[in-house]
């Protein structure tokens, strides 16, 4: 299978981390949808990344759907709980929280790229505040635990580390580590995992 994406997309990183953590063989293809001739535009009607092309040509799109599918392919490890509905809900809620951070951070990024006289300060303020509130909530929810949910790595951890890495890339001045020491400790440990190290390579 092939995973189409870019290094700067946090959603692509999340999907890639799932594949790497589960040791699912795949080819990672850098394929920005904005480039002429992008395969993404041919296989995904939404024209977005990530896009996972299966061996039979079937295309899976949206990082959450890709993660759900990939997690069913083997049990080493199980990243989304299967037998406990509440545990599954908690993991998926963590994913939604992390995705929300990504969503708002991307809005801020796109708005800041507009000409200064065209930027909406209200939009910037709203989405920066959303990121701040989400980080506060994540730090409170995590506490001093080793993992976001349960006693082993899950999709919750992979989604959150993807969001925080994107903040480091696009909002370095935010300095979320100083505001949330427990998130910083957790992030340092997760970032040392081979999957995250590989995903950082250009």
* Domain boundaries defined on the chain: 2-71, 85-193
Mean pLDDT, 10 residues at a time, over the chain (202 residues)?
Answer: 97 98 97 95 96 97 98 97 98 98 98 96 98 98 97 98 98 96 98 96 72
Phi, psi of 148 (to 5 degrees): -65, -40
Residue 49 confidence (pLDDT): 98
Neighbours of 39 (CB within 10 A): 16
Residue 101 confidence (pLDDT): 98
Residue 202 confidence (pLDDT): 63
Q: Does domain 2-71 have CATH number 3.40.30.10?
A: yes
74 torsion bin: left (phi>0), alpha (psi -120 to 50), beta (else) = beta
Instruction: Quick: pLDDT tens for 102-149.
Output: 999 999 999 999 999 999 999 999 999 999 999 999 999 999 999 999
CB hemisphere CA count around 132 (13 angstroms): 10
Residue 104 confidence (pLDDT): 98
Residue 155 confidence (pLDDT): 98
23 torsion bin: left (phi>0), alpha (psi -120 to 50), beta (else) = left
Q: Could you say which of 3.30.360.10, 1.10.357.10, 1.20.1260.10, 1.20.1050.10 is the CATH number of the domain covering 85-193?
A: 1.20.1050.10
Partners of 28 in the β-ladder? 3
């Amino acid at each position: 299978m092939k995973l189409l994406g870019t290094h700067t997309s946090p959603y692509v990183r999340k999907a890639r981390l799932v594949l790497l953590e589960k040791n699912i063989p795949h080819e990672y293809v850098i394929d920005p949808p904005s480039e002429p001739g992008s395969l993404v535009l041919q296989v995904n009607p939404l024209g977005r990344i990530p896009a996972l092309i299966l061996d039979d040509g079937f295309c899976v799109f949206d990082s959450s759907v890709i993660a759900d599918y990939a997690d069913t392919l083997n049990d080493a490890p199980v990243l989304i709980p299967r037998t406990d509905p509440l545990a599954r809900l908690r993991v998926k809620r963590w994913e939604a929280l992390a995705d929300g951070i990504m969503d708002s951070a991307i809005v801020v990024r796109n708005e800041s790229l507009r000409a200064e006289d065209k930027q909406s300060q209200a939009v910037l303020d709203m989405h920066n505040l959303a990121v701040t509130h989400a980080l506060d909530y994540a730090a409170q929810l995590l506490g001093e635990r080793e993992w976001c949910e349960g006693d082993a790595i899950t999709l919750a951890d992979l989604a959150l580390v993807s969001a925080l890495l994107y903040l480091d890339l696009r909002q370095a001045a935010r300095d979320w580590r100083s505001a949330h020491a427990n998130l910083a400790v957790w992030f340092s440990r997760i970032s040392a995992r081979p999957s995250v190290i590989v995903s950082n390579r250009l």
